[in-house]
């Protein structure tokens, strides 16, 4: 539904652009200038898509809170490619036109500025799609990707130079330039604000062999249980790059917490964090919360450390005495991977509607459910599937497989909500 709304808005913007373009055509010259006219059309169409990329990734709260950052990052990837194809077509058509009419390219620096920007966009997009295969660290790729914020002004310089002042197109570029500036100012103010209000680590707690929780005190952060934040730790006077983590505490708790699993360069160092270290926290983001979908009874499905949004929601329900009927399926390799065990047992004992089903994929002597989470297993615990709202959080493969199992049970996709630990 939300994706359709965004598609509708984009369609309207594109149609308006085409109408203004059509109105500016000289029909008598159409036969001779069609390559030029088409090229001129592809420039604003492409730049709408490219401009939207900055809207999608700039963490603009008022927009993000309606859609969720993960969905906006997905749009960023899809629409960014469409934008590049359109701008590329613009370039090809104008080159063809120039060679047919004049036998040469337009001379001048502004042409090369446009080409440079396009090549820059193509390079950063290509790296985004291939950085893992190329063995590049996430941070390296991300820093290169930030160059796009410099490339867009170059594009604007290029288009302004070739547009007649006072034309429809001129005002269109002006609008894009103003909106782009507004986004830049928003991000800058936000960065300055969060950096000048750091948090302080008050506890570092081991939850399992490779899972640690960090607790913070600092400015009151407004969040719903299940949402996430971006954190930069300041340790030994060094600021880490920002990493996203679900907020594992409940908004009712005194201290904010996250619970990272040791997986890579940054998370391996979480255990070295000391009480008194500081953190820059940007949040809260995401729409993965039972509070956003309260039509049916929640069924939580977690894989491994994907338990974090659910522990936040369960803590919230417990503190608010919300006695909903809730079932938590938690898939893990073995008992060794479990955390929050005592707390879950306590909530299960005191919240009569709550049940935990632990599923182990790699522990033959496990007394409970074994193997992978299957539709039939879910059905055996949940009788009335129609009035349920499903929430899945876990590794991408597990999340996809469980989504498929639920669809096989005829659960409508609008009742399945997913948080992927991947942006």
Ligand X SMILES: Cc1cc2nc3c(=O)[nH]c(=O)nc-3n(C[C@H](O)[C@H](O)[C@H](O)COP(=O)(O)OP(=O)(O)OC[C@H]3O[C@@H](n4cnc5c(N)ncnc54)[C@H](O)[C@@H]3O)c2cc1C
By CB under 6 A, name the binding residues for ligand X.
138, 228, 241-246, 259-261, 263-267, 305, 308, 419, 421-423
> Residue 25 CB, nearest distance to ligand X (Å)?
45
DSSP symbol at 152 = H
Report how far residue 207's alpha carbon sits from residue 343's, in angstroms, rounded to the nearest whole number.
11
The β-bridge partners of 416 are 390
For ligand X, the closer of residues 339 and 360 by Cβ is: 339
> Residue 71 CB, nearest distance to ligand X (Å)?
11
- What is the three-class DSSP state of 196? coil
> Residue 273 CB, nearest distance to ligand X (Å)?
13
Q: What are phi and psi of 38, to 5 degrees?
A: -65, -40
> Residue 88 CB, nearest distance to ligand X (Å)?
28
Peptide bond before residue 284 is cis, with ω within 30 degrees of 0: yes
Q: How many CB atoms lie within 10 A of CB 4?
A: 8
What are the angstrom distances between the C-alpha of 171 and each of 10, 20, 113, 136, 407? 19, 11, 21, 41, 48
Residue number of the CB atom closest to ligand X: 264
For ligand X, the closer of residues 198 and 395 by Cβ is: 395
> Residue 264 CB, nearest distance to ligand X (Å)?
2
Tell me which residue has tokens 């297993």.
Answer: 377
Radius of gyration of the chain (CA): 26
- 339: which 2 tokens? 């955390």
For ligand X, the closer of residues 39 and 213 by Cβ is: 213
Question: Is residue 51 within 8 Å of 152, Cβ to Cβ?
Answer: yes
> Residue 229 CB, nearest distance to ligand X (Å)?
9
> Residue 349 CB, nearest distance to ligand X (Å)?
25
DSSP symbol at 321 = T
Beta strands in 247-296 (DSSP E): 256-258, 278-285
For ligand X, the closer of residues 180 and 421 by Cβ is: 421
For ligand X, the closer of residues 369 and 419 by Cβ is: 419
- 409: which 2 tokens? 């049970």
Question: Is residue 229 within 8 Å of 245, Cβ to Cβ?
Answer: yes
For ligand X, the closer of residues 198 and 242 by Cβ is: 242
- 350: which 2 tokens? 């005191």
> Residue 395 CB, nearest distance to ligand X (Å)?
10
For ligand X, the closer of residues 132 and 349 by Cβ is: 132
For ligand X, the closer of residues 132 and 295 by Cβ is: 132
């Amino acid at each position: 539904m939300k994706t359709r709304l965004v598609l509708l808005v984009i369609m309207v913007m594109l149609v308006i652009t085409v109408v203004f373009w059509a109105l500016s055509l000289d029909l008598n010259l159409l036969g001779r200038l069609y390559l030029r006219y088409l090229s001129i059309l592809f420039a604003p169409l492409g730049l709408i898509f490219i401009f939207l990329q900055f809207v999608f990734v700039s963490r603009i709260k008022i927009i993000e809170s309606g859609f969720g950052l993960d969905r906006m990052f997905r749009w960023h990837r899809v629409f960014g490619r469409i934008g590049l194809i359109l701008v590329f077509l613009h370039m090809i058509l104008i080159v063809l036109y120039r060679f047919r009419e004049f036998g040469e390219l337009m001379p001048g620096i502004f042409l090369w500025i446009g080409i440079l920007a396009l090549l820059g966009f193509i390079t950063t997009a290509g790296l985004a799609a291939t950085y893992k295969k190329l063995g590049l660290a996430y941070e390296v790729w991300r820093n290169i990707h930030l160059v796009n914020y410099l490339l867009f002004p170059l594009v604007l310089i290029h288009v302004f130079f070739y547009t007649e002042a006072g034309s429809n197109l001129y005002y269109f570029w002006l609008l894009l330039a103003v909106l782009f500036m507004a986004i830049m100012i928003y991000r800058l103010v936000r960065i300055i604000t969060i950096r000048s209000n750091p948090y302080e680590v008050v506890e570092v707690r081991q939850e399992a062999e490779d899972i640690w929780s960090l607790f913070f005190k600092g400015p009151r952060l407004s969040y719903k249980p299940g949402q996430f934040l971006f954190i930069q730790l300041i340790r030994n006077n060094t600021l880490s790059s920002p990493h996203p983590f679900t907020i594992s505490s409940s908004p009712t708790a005194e201290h904010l917490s996250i619970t990272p699993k040791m997986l890579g360069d940054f998370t391996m160092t979480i255990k070295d964090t000391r009480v008194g270290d500081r953190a820059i926290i940007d949040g809260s983001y995401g729409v993965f919360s039972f509070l956003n979908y309260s039509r049916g009874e929640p069924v939580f499905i977690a894989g491994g450390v994907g338990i974090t949004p659910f522990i936040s929601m369960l803590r919230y329900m417990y503190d608010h005495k919300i006695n909903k009927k809730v079932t938590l399926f938690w898939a893990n390799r073995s008992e060794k991977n479990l955390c929050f065990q005592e707390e879950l047992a306590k909530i299960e004992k005191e919240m009569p509607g709550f049940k935990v089903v632990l599923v182990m994929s790699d522990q033959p002597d496990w007394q409970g459910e074994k193997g992978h989470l299957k539709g039939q297993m879910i059905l055996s615990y949940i009788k009335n599937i129609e009035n349920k709202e499903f929430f899945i959080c876990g590794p991408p493969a597990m999340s996809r497989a469980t989504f498929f199992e639920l669809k096989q049970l005829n659960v409508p996709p609008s009742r399945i909500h997913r948080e992927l630990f991947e942006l």
